[in-house]
Amino acid sequence: MIIAAWCALLVPGQSASRPADAAVRWPVRPAYSRLLPDKISILEPIDAESSDEARTGLQSDAEVLIYAGGKLDSLEAASGRSRWARPQPLEQMPTFIAARPHRLVFATLHSVFALNRTTGAEVWRVGDEPDADPQRDPEALPQWARFAACGDRIFCASDHNQVIAIDLRNGQVLWRARTDEGVTHVAAGGRHVCCALGGTMRGRLLVFRADSGKRVRAIDQPDRPTIVNLTLASSDAIHVTTTTAWRRFKIDADRRTIDVPIDGACWYIKGLADASDRLLVCSRDGLRRILLTGERDTEMILACRPPATAQPWGMLRDGTLYISTGPRFSAYDPHAERLLWTRERTKTSASQPVFTRDTILFIQPHDNPDSGTSTRFHISGLLRTTGEPVAIAERPPLITPELASFGGLYVRRNALLILDDNLLIGYVGREERPTRASATSRPAAPARAQSTNDP
């Protein structure tokens, strides 16, 4: 998804003359480049995008998992050297399900397996690959395509209309349960596992006990919606986002409790002080808040004037919503219901921003940003708490070498990693003590802001 880099709307009293210092600053030249015989993919667990805890743990790791040339390998982020004596040969890139202190769990089309995190040796495997038994019909083997991880259990759904629970520690299959059709989504949380069905029963929800696999409830949605997101809340509520609505079901209730039409991305927020429920919906008109109690009051928080030509983009990180609405990129506190800071768009970015502990990293074309044919890229940063430009390089600016095909920006501990087709480029930084704007404190609500361009 193409997003934007931004110029500042400054809080009075803050200066644009000198950027703040990041917790980690990188040198302007790479520490290493590692060339592999085939295109490189960096693997991240499926919960890294939705879980702040998983994402923070991933970025603090000193390792990076890659798949290239039919092999799965673990590299030292600070040097690019292999950590495992022998990479795992795999015909296809696996799905990275979960990372634990001593285990890494993956899935291929036909099996789920765990590797020792230190050595890369296989610890357990559930299922068989087709080449394990040449006499067996490959179509008779289940294909695993939907996964969820919760604690020490992982839940997997197959095209054989079955969901299973596996003990992550030893690979024991704890239970198996039948579904009525193929599964499109799996969500796990608290005491239950929920599956959304496709095919002739599109939109149907099946709820199972997480400990036993006993079916608790089946929920039919008469309009047979196309589901785009499914989550389970700790209160045993099912949250369903379709292409046109957001819905909440209580597992122990006969009917859906809330049904809200939406026309964009949305986030469910439960209030801390007043226990009120809010839905934040980002559409082409801007960001609006919908109260899910009482009269369903609606309030526009950030308006796009004129409306955005493309669907706005947003991401919830550590309780703060970072969102692009038309020409603006803003940070919004949904619990305190206040805008923290706003910056206006100036240039397009080559990828989604990367959120570190204290900084938002953007990468944008450097040589010819308007043509989209740049071979070098400029990496810049904003402080998450204030939106101030932040010095991420020892001697700014941080410009990449010429790249044949930019493939992504990643952070692991003090390493900044860039993919360039079959080349892995690593910048290794050092810790800095921030001189301004603590990364852990939340700023006061800004007064009227004044606009300026980035220096």
Kindly report, residue by residue over 31-90, the tens digit of the pLDDT: 999 999 999 999 999 887 777 778 778 888 899 999 999 999 999 999 999 999 999 999
Rounded Cα distance, 226 and 234, in Å: 24
Nearest by Cα to 347 from 320, 321, 315, 374:
374
Check residues 453 and 249 and name the one with the higher pLDDT.
Answer: 249
pLDDT of 118: 94
* Average pLDDT of the chain to the nearest whole number: 83
By DSSP bridging, strand 389-393 and strand 20-26 are: parallel
Whether pLDDT at 5 is above 60: no
pLDDT of 172: 97
Whether pLDDT at 280 is above 50: yes
Whether pLDDT at 288 is above 70: yes
State the CATH architecture for 4-451: 7 Propeller (2.130)
pLDDT of 326: 65
> In sequence order, what are the residues at sequence separation of 6 or more whose Cβ sits closer than 8 angstroms to the Cβ of residue 263?
244, 281, 283, 284
Compute and round to an integer the Cα radius of gyration of the chain: 23
Nearest by Cα to 307 from 332, 322, 287, 290:
287
Nearest by Cα to 157 from 128, 138, 129, 179:
179
pLDDT of 228: 93
Q: What is the pLDDT of residues 203-259, one digit of tens each?
A: 999 999 999 999 999 999 989 999 999 999 877 899 999 999 999 999 987 666 789
Q: What is the pLDDT of residues 392-406, one digit of tens each?
A: 988 878 999 999 999
Nearest by Cα to 26 from 448, 411, 436:
411
Region 370-397 average pLDDT: 83
pLDDT of 435: 46
Question: Phi/psi zone of residue 291: left (φ > 0), alpha (ψ -120 to 50 degrees), beta?
Answer: beta
Chain position carrying tokens 């799965």:
72
Each domain of the chain, given as residue ranges in start order, spans 4-451
Read off the pTM. Answer: 0.83
Q: How confident is the model at residue 373 (pLDDT cuts 50, 70, 90)?
A: low
pLDDT of 371: 54
